[in-house]
Structure formats: C-alpha cells, structure tokens
Amino acid sequence: MNRADAAEQIVADLRELAALTSDEGGAQRLSWTPVWQQATEWFRRHMEAAGAEVSMDAVGNIWAKFAGESEASVVVGSHIDSVPDGGWLDGALGVAAGMGYGAYCLDGKKPKKTLYVVGWVDEEGMAFGKSCFGSAVASGSMTAQSAASLTTKDGESFADVLRTCGLDGERIDEARAAFAARQVQAYLELHIEQAPLLAQNKTSAACVYGVCGCHREYITFTGQQSHCGSPVALRRDAFLAAAEATVDFNKIALKYGAYCTVGQVDVAPNVVTISPGRCRISLDIRCIDKETFQTMIDEARAAYEGRAREHGVAAAHDVLWHKEPVLFDETLKELCRRAVQEETGRDAVMYSAPLHDAVEMVKAAPSIMMFVMSDPGISHCKEEDTPEPALKEGIRAFLRLIEAVLGR
C-alpha cells in the first residue's frame, strides 16, 4: 500500500479507537482500567491480523514485532493511554502510525531491520503522578524498588493496580531487560503538537529537535492570618505575596520566551473575613536552553523571596521534580527534517514544551520526534483536533521517516 492510502487507513483506525474508548466527554483510556484494556486488545487484534507477534510486558506496555532481516531494531510508538476526557489524537496518533506502517506499508514484506511498535502505558501519569511511566521502566529510570512505594491518590498500591489487569508489579525489571534485548538502534515518535504554533504558520508537520527541561516545586508562604478589618499596611498576607510572585513568574517567562505556570493555589484558612496566613502555590518552569533554564529557576526564587520580605512573610520551597532539557539525535534529526520537507515542502523544525515518552527513550537509544499540527491547538480535552488534510500529510511524512530509518 502506498503512503497516501496507508495514511487514509491510519486515520480510519484512529477513529475506530476513538469510538471504542471514548464517551461524550472524550477519550477515557486511563492506564490499567477496563477502557485501557479495550485499547490494548484493539492493538493486539489489529497487529495479529497484520502478522505481527504481539506481547505485553510486565507493566502493561503493549508490543508488536515485525521481524526483519536483522535482529537490530527500530521502535516506533507513543502512548496508548489518555487523560480523563482526553482527545482522540493525543498519544494514539503515534501508536496508530506505527501500527499502520507495519500493517499497510510493509504489507507482509520483511524490512532490513526488525520493527517494533509500542503503546506505552501511563505516559500521562494519571495513576501515580509519574509521567512517562512505561517508557521510564523500559529506559531503566523506573525500577521495581522505586515503584514499590507508589500509591494512587486513593491509596491503592502499585502492586494492587497492576494486579487488577493480571500484571505482576514485582516483575517490573523484566520489562527493562526485555527492552535491552531488542537491540534498539532508533526510537521514532509521532505526536500532535498540543499548541497552536504549526496551525498559525499553516504548517502540517515539523521535526522536533528537543524537549524542554521541566522544574516543578511547591512554594509555601507563611505569614499571619488576621481580621479583614485590620489595617492593610500592617498585614502579613501570605496570599498577597504569592499573587505578586506569580505575576513575577509570568514576566520571567515572557522575558526568556519560555514557560512559567502556577497551576495550584492553596490558601489558608480560606475564610471570607480573614486575610490569609498561609498560601502554597505550585510552580512549573520549562525551557529548552540549559543555561537559561537554570537562570529562570534562580530568578524565580529571587522573586518569591523578595515578595516574601516585602510582605513580612516566610517563604520555603519543596522541589517535586526536575528534568534537564533533552536534545534528540542529530542524524535522526536530519532524516526527520528531510521527511517533513519532502512531504510538505516546508523545512519546519521546533522544540516541544510538553514532555513525551521520547524523553525517556533518549536514555536508551537514539531518538527523534515529529509533530503534526494541532488545530485549534488545545489538547487534554475532547475539543482536541487536527484538520484531516493536515493530519494525513503529517502521517505521510512520518511514514517516510520510518522507511528511511528502517530500510526496505
């Protein structure tokens, strides 16, 4: 099957998966749930029909193998899970594109290298708050020891969650060993952009050369709660310090063309007639440049410490997570650029602010990503979409990339 016909069929497959695993709110493929299991069975059914050898590893990553002339392999995939009320393309696009190449482009022919298609589990981090879970297991970042203490927000243990799907959490390290045995020479991932930049530039696809570093922390401001009739000039208002610091963070992001986000605010005592004595906020900082990334972290801390002093409150921080920026393989980058240019006529290169499984795969194999336009540029909601002509063109570009890396 040629690339154009394959892209048509891949879009049809995506719509089939959406119909199977969505409701009126959107996609509901939360990892290790019955709907997610429906998605993995859908994957298994399609891949076995295409002649692939299908298996699920110890944590729930679903694999399809198309044997090549060599055991050296190329892995193509993304995540098969979703957030609650998610979109029809987030994650699923990359999985379906890999499936489609194996089923429609190979069409029973043996490639030079072995092709593995993977649907990673819990990229979204919905179960335990750990993003890119399945790919982190494969890369070795997540081990049996580090996973053993994980619990859901409802207190369910890691072992119990996996047990509901017939998986054994104690065998988690077997998934890493299985990945290492695959002799992976390259990892390729297609994903929607989840932002409007490509749509604004009327570009259907782009080579992604890297992913922003991500720093997350909680900042707690502690002052003195007081009656709302107390003089404003004499208050030690924790919320006011936090609010002004939040504005400062926004200015830092704009200054460096990067990202600062305060997504959670917890005010105490949260009473109409009391100026708050305590306020805790989250801060998420993202930047593609390593030096600028650290500068932003330093400036953000100087900003909230300064606001704390101005308002006579204390400020303390607790780091939740820190990942340095990731740049993808240069050889794969050039192949990806060429595939985009050959299919679209545009030399489009960009970086990603959201995290993806490819960030974990960099630790284990040369990796690259390609983005497809997202229009209206929003994701993690049922309104997520891409116009079909742009979606098909992006898929065709990615099929070119797979062919270039895999060999025929």
Burial of 272 (0-12, 13-18, 19+ CB in 10 A): exposed
90 labeled part of a ligand binding site: yes
Rounded CA-CA distance 100/110 in Å is 15
The tokens for 111 are 């490639």
Q: For residues 283-301, b (16+ Cβ closer than 10 Å) or e, as one string?
A: bbbbbbbeebbebbbebbb
Residue 153 CB coordination number (10 Å): 9
311 labeled part of a ligand binding site: no
Q: Are 223 and 237 in contact (CB under 8 A)?
A: yes
124 labeled part of a ligand binding site: yes
Residue 316 CB coordination number (10 Å): 13
The bridge status of strand 314-323 relative to strand 265-268 is unpaired
Residue with the two structure tokens 């997610």: 36
46 labeled part of a ligand binding site: no
Rounded CA-CA distance 18/130 in Å is 25
The tokens for 205 are 């696809």
The tokens for 239 are 């919320």
**Closest-CA residue to 112 (of 51, 27, 186, 215):** 186
- CA–CA distance from 322 to each of 39, 152, 213, 214, 345 (Å)? 31, 21, 8, 6, 37
**Closest-CA residue to 119 (of 134, 131, 138, 130):** 134
The tokens for 397 are 């570009």
Binding residues: 79, 90, 124, 191, 380
Binding residues for Zn(2+): 79, 90, 124, 191, 380
